[in-house]
Structure 1
Amino acid sequence: MDGTTSTTELTAVEICAGAGGQSLGLHLAGFRHTLAVELDRDAAETLQRNLARLASDEGQPEPVVAVGDVADESVWQPAEYKGVSLLAGGVPCPPFSIAGKQLGSSDERDLFAWAVEAAAQMQPDAVLLENVRGLSMPRFAGYRQAVLDRFAELGYRADWRLLEAKDFGVPQLRPRFILVALREEFAPYFAWPEPTPAVQTVGAALYDLMAANGWKGAETWSKRADRVAPTIVGGSKKHGGPDLGPTRAKREWRSIGVDGLGIADAAPGPDAPVGLAPKLTNEMVARIQGWAGPGYEWDFGDRKGHKTATYRQIGNAFPPPVARAVGLAIATALRKEGRRAGDHGGDSKYRDEVYRALREHGGFISIAGLHKALGGGLSDSDIEHRIEFLRQDFEIEVRRRGKVPTYRLGEWRAFRGQEDHARHAAFATDKLRSKIS
C-alpha cells in the first residue's frame, strides 16, 4: 500500500472485523476499507458480500477480506499497510468479560496488546479498538496503563471511554469500552461523540416487524415493550443454538414480552394469540443491534439451516450506529475540522498510578516508597491490592529488605507477537479457534 494518507480520502484496515457492525459504521462515517481480517468464515463471507456491494454502489475497488488468524503473518502483514488513516477492530472479549474468568493477558485469546504493536508497524493516523465493559474495571488498570504508555511511546495520545449503545439510538443496553488513539497532530481536534437526545424502545423499533405477518397482538405487544433491551449475547461455537442469554437476561426479556428461549423463523401470524410472548427473528435481533433505517441495510444471508450462525454474527457485533458516531468523531479530527479541545488523553480516569510509579522507579520499591511516590493518595492496603491485580498481567519480582517486601515491575505477559508465546501452540492445535468470540 502507498505510505501516504489523504485527509479527504480516509482509509481503514479493520481487524477481528466479525460480520461488519463496525465496518458499516465506519463506512457511514466516511472511511473506506482497504482490508478487513476475520477468523470466522461465516462472518467473513457476510462481510465480503456487503463490503463488495458498498464498493460497487460507489464505483470503488472491492476491499480485501482476509480469512484467518489476524496474528498470522501468512494471512496479512501489518507493515504492508503503513500510512492507513485508521486501524480499527474489536479484538476478542473473553479475556476481559465479567461473564468469564477475566484472565487478561494470561488468556491466550488476548490480542489487545498485539493490536497496539500492529499499529506500531502501520503508523496509522488513528486507532480505534473496542471491547467489553470488563476492561474498564480496576482489575485491568495496569493493563490499560501499559496500552496508554505504549501508544505514548509511538507518538499517539490515547484514552478510553465507556459508551452505551442506547445513547446512540440503539434499543439495547450494550456498554462498550472504546480506545481511541490519535497522532499528536490530530489529537487536539478529537472530541468524544455526544449521546443522542432520544432513547428508542424495543417496541418502537420492532413494531412493523412483529406486525408483518398479520399478528393482531403486535400493537399491544409494542406498548408493553416500552424500554431498551438487555444486551444481545452472541455466544461462541462451543455453546448450543441461539438464545437471548443467561437466565437473568431471559427474565428481563420476558418482562417486556419476549420469549428468549431461541430464535424464531418468522414473526407471529394472524392466528397467534394476542397475548403471546413471541420469540425474535434474526431480522429483529439485527435491528436491536443497530442495523435499522436507511443506509444500515446488511445482508446476513440468513438461509434455512444457518439460523444459529447468523444469530452469532449479529449477536457478537459492534452496533453500527455507535461505530458511526465514534468514526465521525475520528474523521473530524483527521480532517482537523473540529474545535481544538486539546485535552484528549490528558487526564484519563482509566489510568493506574501504581503501575506508573513502579515503571518509573525501575528498581525495587516498598509499599511505603510507593505511598510516598504517589503523594499519599492511596492507602497501603489499596496499593497492595493494586499490586495483586498487576501480578495477574505482569511479572512482579519480590525481594525482602529485612521483613519488608519490595517490588519491581517486570515483563508484560500479554501476547505482542513473541515467537515463544503460548498462544502459538494453543492456536496450532485449534484449541483457541472454537473459543474465540
Structure 2
Amino acid sequence: MTDLSVVEICAGAGGQSLGLHLAGFKHELAVELDPTAAATLAANLQRLQPDDDVDDLVRVGDVADEAVWKPEDFTGKAAVLAGGVPCPPFSVAGRQLGSADERDLFAWAVEAAGRMQPEAVLLENVRGLNDARFAGYRQAVVDRFATLGYTAFWELLEARDFGVPQLRPRMILVALRPEYVDYFAWPEKSAVTRTVSGVLGDLMAANGWSEEYLARWMAKADRIAPTIVGGSKKHGGADLGPTRAKRAWAELWTDGHGLADRAPGEDWKIEDHPRGPKLTVEMVARIQGWLGEEYRWDFEGRKTSRYRQIGNAFPPPVARAVGVSIAQALGKKQKPSTIPAPRRVHDEVYRLLRDRDEALTAERIQQLLGSTMSIEKIIQRIEAIALDFIVEVQSRGGRPTYRLGAWRAFRGQDDHDRHIAFAEARSRAKVS
C-alpha cells in the first residue's frame, strides 16, 4: 500500500491531524474522547475532506472501546496508524506512574497496530518518556513492534527546531514495515528560529497598544517560549502552566496567570499590569504552531476549553515534518544519507531478563552482560522495570533473584483495572 491514508487515535483537537494533512495524508478515521475537541476536529476535517461523511470520519469515545471502533476493520484501508496517546502516565506532573496509570494507552496502541497492520505507525508523547525511569518500557515497545513485523525508532524532537516559537520537546515513535526502513530519516531542522514577539507582534498591536509598551514587550519577548501546558479539567482554568513556566513567561514580560479576551488597548496601564500583557487564545494557538492561513484551524467551545485543546496538541509543523518523512519512506522516493539506527538498546537489563527463562541474581546479570554496570545500578534498573512489569523476586543462597513476568500495561486485557476505572468514570458522567 502506498496511498497516504491514516487512522488517528487520541486525536485531540487536531494538531497532528492538520500536520499530517499538510504532509499529504487523508483521514479514514479519527477517534477522540473529549466531545468538544472532537467537535473542533470534525468541523475542520469537514472543510479539508468535504466529500467524506464527517459523522463516520470522527468518532467520539474511549479509543479502546470496540463499540467505538475496531482496528481490524481498517486493515488494508489505511497506510498509517497515528496518535497522541495520553501524556500523564509519563509526565512529571502526572507522577510518572507509567503502566500503573489507567490512562496509559501506549502499549494498547502497539497492539492496535498489530491488529490493524498498517504500513507505518506514528505515536507521540511527552519528554518524560525519555527518562531512565521508562527505559524498560521503551525497550518493550521496540521489541513488541519487532515481534509484530516492524522496525521501531524513538527520537526526541523539539518544536523550536521546526518553526514553532516554543521549546516543547516530544518523544516520537515511528515504526515501519521492513521494506520502508531504508527510505526513512528523521526530518531536518528548520534553518529559521521563530520567537514569541516575531509571531505575535501584529496581534499585540492590533488594539492600539501604546508604541512605548509594545516596543518594550517586543524586545523582552524576542525569544523562544516555554512549553505551553494545556492541563486537564481536574486542574483549574486557563493559564500558561505551573510556577516554573510562569517565571519563564515573566522574563518575556508576559503575564502567565490566565488569558486575556483581547489584546491590550490604548487604556492599558503598566501600574495595573506590572507582569505585562496576557496572551489571548489566538496568540497561544500561534505559539503552538497554528501559523498563518496555511495552518488555519477553527476551535469550538469556550475560552478555557479552546485553550486546553490548543495546549494539549501536537504542534502542526512538527507533525507535518514527521509526516513528510513517513510519506517519503512509504513512497520509496529516495534513500536518505542518514538512516536512524533501528536497534538501539534502551535497557539491556530488561532485554536480558526477557530473554532468560530463569531467575537471575544481580551478580549473574552483571556477568552475562559483560559490562561495567555496577551491581547497584543493575538493582536500580530492576526496581524501575518492576514499576511497569511484574518482577518475581525470590532468594537463592541468601541473595535475591529476579525473573521478568508480564507487562502491567493495558493492552486490551479483559481483567485489567483500566476497565473498572473507565466504567466508574462513565457512571459519574451519567449522574452529572
Partner of 2:330: 334
Instruction: Select the residue among 41, 55, 66 that pairs with 1:73.
Output: 66
Structure 2 counterpart of 1:403, from 394, 398, 418: 398
The answer on whether the counterparts of 2:186 and 2:322 sit within 8 Å (CA) in structure 1 is: yes
**How big is each residue's C-alpha offset from its partner over 1:245-274, in whole Å with a ceiling of 9 and x where there is no partner?**
111211111110111111111001122237
From the superposition, tell whether residues 51 and 107 of structure 1 become closer, same or farther in structure 2 (CA, over 3 Å).
same
2:262 matched to which residue of 1?
266
Amino acid in the other structure paired with 2:90: F
Answering whether residue 288 of structure 2 is matched by residue 289 of structure 1, we say yes
Quote the Cα distance in structure 2 between the aligned partners of 1:297 and 1:367: 55
Q: Which runs of 5+ in 2 are unaligned?
A: none
Cα shift at 1:373:
1.5
- Matched with 1:300 is 299
Report what 1:64 is aligned to: 57
Residue 18 of structure 1, aligned match among 4, 12, 16? 12
Residue 145 of structure 2 is aligned with which of 151, 172, 181? 151
User: Which residue of structure 1 lines up, in the alignment, with residue 196 of structure 2?
Assistant: 202
Q: In the alignment, which residue of structure 2 is the partner of 1:166?
A: 160
Q: Which residue of 2 aligns with 1:109?
A: 103
Q: CA deviation at 1:369?
A: 1.5
AA aligned opposite 1:81: F
Residue in 1 that maps onto 2:46: 52
Partner amino acid, structure 1, of 2:289: G
Whether the 8 Å CA contact 2:261–2:280 is kept in 1: the answer is yes
Q: Which stretch shifts more, 263-272 or 312-321?
A: 263-272
The DSSP-based 3-state class of the residue aligned with 1:185 is helix
* More divergent stretch after superposition (355-364 vs 64-73): 355-364
Moved more, 362-371 or 329-338: 362-371
- Shift in Å, 1:344: 3.6
The whole-number CA distance in structure 1 between the counterparts of 2:94 and 2:49 is 38
| Superimposed CA distance per residue, residues 311-353 of structure 1 (whole angstroms, 9 cap, x where no aligned partner) | 11011101000000000000000000131558444342x6110
Deviation per CA, 1:178-198, whole angstroms, max 9, x where unpaired? 000000011111000111122
Q: Give the secondary structure class of the aligned counterpart of 1:428.
A: helix
Picking from 357, 360, 380, the partner of 1:365 is 360
Give the corresponding residue for 1:279. Answer: 278
The amino acid that maps onto 2:66 is: E
In 1, distance between residues paired with 2:259 and 2:426?
28
| Matched position secondary structure for 2:27 | strand
Letter in 1 for 2:33: L
Q: TM-score, normalised by structure 1?
A: 0.93
In structure 2, do the counterparts of structure 1 residues 60 and 108 end up closer, same or farther at CA, with 3 Å as the change threshold? closer
Output the amino acid matched with 1:226. Answer: D
How far residue 430 of structure 1 moved from its aligned partner, in angstroms, is: 0.3
Distance (Å, rounded) in 2 between the aligned partners of 1:405 and 1:240: 46
Alpha-carbon distance, 1:124 to partner:
0.4
Partner Cα separation in structure 1 for residue 53 and residue 68 of structure 2: 20
Opposite residue 229 of structure 1, the aligned amino acid is A
Amino acid across the alignment from 1:279: K
**Pick from 245, 250, 259: which aligns with 1:249?**
245
Shift of residue 375 of structure 1? Answer: 1.3
User: How far apart, in 2, do the equivalents of 1:178 and 1:110 lie?
Assistant: 16
Give the aligned partner of residue 91 of structure 2: 97
Given that residues 185 and 338 in structure 2 are in contact (C-alpha distance below 8 angstroms), is that contact kept between their aligned partners in structure 1? no
Q: CA deviation at 1:426?
A: 0.4
More off after superposition, 338-347 vs 245-254: 338-347
Alignment partners' CA distance in 2, 1:165 and 1:61: 33
Aligned counterparts of 2:72 and 2:232: Cα–Cα separation in 1: 31
Do 1:170 and 1:321's aligned partners in 2 also have CA atoms closer than 8 Å? yes
* Matching of residue 426 in structure 1 with residue 421 in structure 2: yes
What CA distance in whole angstroms lies between the structure 1 residues aligned with 2:69 and 2:7? 11
Q: Name which of 172, 180, 185 aligns with 1:186.
A: 180
Aligned with 2:214 (options 214, 218, 242): 218
For structure 1, which runs of at least 5 residues remain unmatched after alignment? none
Partner of 1:228: 224
Tell whether the 8 Å contact from 1:108 to 1:432 is kept in structure 2 after alignment. Answer: no
CA contact (8 A) 2:46 2:52 kept: no
Answer yes or no: is the 8 Å Cα contact 1:187–1:342 preserved in 2: no
Distance 2:292 2:15 in 1: 14
**Could you tell me which amino acid in structure 1 is paired with residue 401 of structure 2?**
T
Distance 1:433 1:293, change over 3 A: farther
Aligned-residue CA RMSD (Å) = 1.7
Q: Distance in 1 between matches of 2:264 and 2:171?
A: 36
Residue 380 of structure 1: CA displacement? 1.1
Report the CA distance shift for 1:342/1:212 in structure 2 as closer, same or farther (over 3 A): closer
AA aligned opposite 2:63: V
Which among 34, 45, 54 is matched to residue 40 of structure 1? Answer: 34
Find the aligned partners of 1:41 and 1:251 in 2 and give their Cα distance. 33
Q: Distance in 1 between matches of 2:155 and 2:244?
A: 27
Contact residue 190 and residue 341 of structure 1 kept, 8 A: no
